[in-house]
């Protein structure tokens, strides 16, 4: 009985466990990437090496596993893969890193809390998200989206007094000054991060669409990483065409950041979120970004000596409140979805469908008595 309960808990919570694992991985990415960038790592080259590492890690699994059941590659699917690689590895990651260089790791991950709202709007435009303003759950999703954007604006434009945390007391002033970000850099960084989030949202929606015609998460991940490496290398060669020294990797945090971000935050992340999106959709995958924000805020203040300001804390709280209004609405949609109804509300239809499938090859004659009651002993006979 105990094992059965544990199995049931794991079955119902596996999507939550997986997406929480992703947020811990992304939190580590923000801190490690910021350290590597501070050590002189070029952002364009970093994106290339990151996806090269992801390709080397994921390709063997994609080649060996599912090779007999892998769907056929078509021109349409390959074009989608090229677009996927351009949206996320190239546009999103380069703009996100540039935005983080202009601000701080905490600010960058906090701004990413607009990601669920952007994904929700795109999904609605593409008819992947249902909105009925007479419904409470739809009202919660719309109001939550507006609240999230308002919180992001507050966090960007309002600084407020510095908040002294117990682990930042006595921090070296030199580090504090180095991590201060003025309004100009905040606006510049925020713009880059929001455009990156828009690209990331488009990537996840397109990934969900592509998985319907190419339902092999491993192969899809390997292709995205490979094409992202090629496209990123083209961009890096154009942007840094006169500076070959940026391609050198030092045996320090830059190598660690490359391997960690490539394997965890690209290879495994694309694969895991693809599996989750099959069941829950792209909006659910983005719903837990505040967890990453909290982790990065703590790690950033400890490792990077980043300052915390009241305006950004209030903005982050508003973002979280708006975000979970969207998540609440999404959870209600999931409970009322046709898939859920088929699983939980009408099991008798599933049983009838299964019996029909099993008996579809037989010709059956029902022998009925004169009083209209079937003879249970001689009810059917094969012809």
How does pLDDT run across 167-185, given as a tens digit for each residue?
Answer: 555 555 444 434 455 566 7
State the CB neighbour count (10 A cutoff) for residue 255: 15
With beta carbons less than 8 A apart as the criterion, state whether 229 and 58 touch: no
Q: pLDDT confidence of 20, banded at 50, 70, 90?
A: confident
How does pLDDT run across 274-316, given as a tens digit for each residue?
Answer: 888 877 777 777 777 766 776 776 666 666 566 667 877 787 7
How does pLDDT run across 323-333, given as a tens digit for each residue?
Answer: 778 777 766 66
With beta carbons less than 8 A apart as the criterion, state whether 106 and 316 touch: no
How does pLDDT run across 94-131, given as a tens digit for each residue?
Answer: 998 888 888 777 677 777 777 877 887 887 788 777 77
Q: At residue 348, does pLDDT exceed 50? A: no
- pLDDT for res 104: 74
Domain ranges of the chain: 17-330, 347-382
Task: Please indicate, yes or no, whether the overall pTM of this predicted structure exceeds 0.75.
Answer: no
In the chain, % of residues over pLDDT 90? 21
Beta pairing partners, 364: 382
Beta pairing partners, 163: 308
State the CB neighbour count (10 A cutoff) for residue 245: 8
Over its C-alpha atoms, the chain yields an Rg (Å, rounded) of 25
């Amino acid at each position: 009985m105990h094992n059965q309960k544990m199995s049931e808990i794991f079955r119902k919570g596996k999507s939550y466990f997986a997406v929480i694992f992703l947020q811990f991985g992304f939190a580590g990415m923000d801190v490690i990437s910021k350290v590597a960038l501070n050590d002189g790592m070029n952002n364009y080259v970093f994106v290339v090496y990151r996806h090269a590492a992801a390709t080397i890690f994921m390709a063997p699994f994609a080649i060996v596993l599912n090779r007999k059941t892998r769907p056929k590659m078509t021109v349409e699917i390959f074009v989608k893969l090229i677009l996927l690689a351009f949206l996320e590895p190239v546009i999103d990651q380069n703009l996100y890193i540039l935005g983080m260089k202009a601000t701080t790791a905490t600010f960058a991950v906090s701004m990413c809390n607009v990601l669920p709202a952007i994904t929700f709007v795109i999904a609605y435009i593409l008819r992947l998200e249902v909105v009925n303003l007479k419904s409470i759950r739809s009202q919660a999703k719309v109001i939550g989206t507006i609240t999230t954007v308002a919180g992001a604006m507050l966090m960007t434009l309002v600084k407020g007094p510095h908040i002294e945390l117990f682990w930042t007391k006595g921090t070296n002033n030199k580090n504090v000054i180095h991590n201060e970000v003025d309004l100009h850099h905040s606006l510049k960084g925020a713009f880059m991060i929001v455009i990156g989030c828009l690209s990331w949202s488009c990537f996840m929606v397109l990934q969900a669409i592509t998985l319907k015609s190419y339902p092999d998460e491993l192969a899809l991940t390997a292709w995205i990483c490979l094409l992202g490496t090629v496209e990123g290398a083209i961009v890096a060669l154009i942007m840094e065409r006169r500076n070959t020294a940026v391609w050198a990797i030092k045996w320090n945090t830059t190598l660690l950041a490359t391997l960690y971000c490539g394997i965890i935050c690209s290879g495994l992340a694309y694969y895991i979120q693809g599996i989750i999106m099959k069941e829950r959709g792209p909006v659910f995958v983005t719903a837990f970004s505040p967890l990453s924000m909290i982790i990065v805020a703590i790690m950033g203040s400890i490792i990077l000596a980043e300052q915390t300001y009241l305006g950004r804390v209030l903005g982050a709280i508003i973002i979280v409140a708006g975000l979970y209004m969207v998540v609440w609405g999404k959870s209600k949609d999931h409970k009322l979805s046709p898939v859920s109804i088929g699983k939980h509300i009408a099991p008798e239809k599933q049983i009838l469908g299964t019996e029909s499938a099993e008996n579809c090859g037989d010709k059956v004659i029902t022998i009925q008595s004169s009083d209209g009651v079937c003879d249970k002993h001689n009810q059917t006979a094969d012809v």
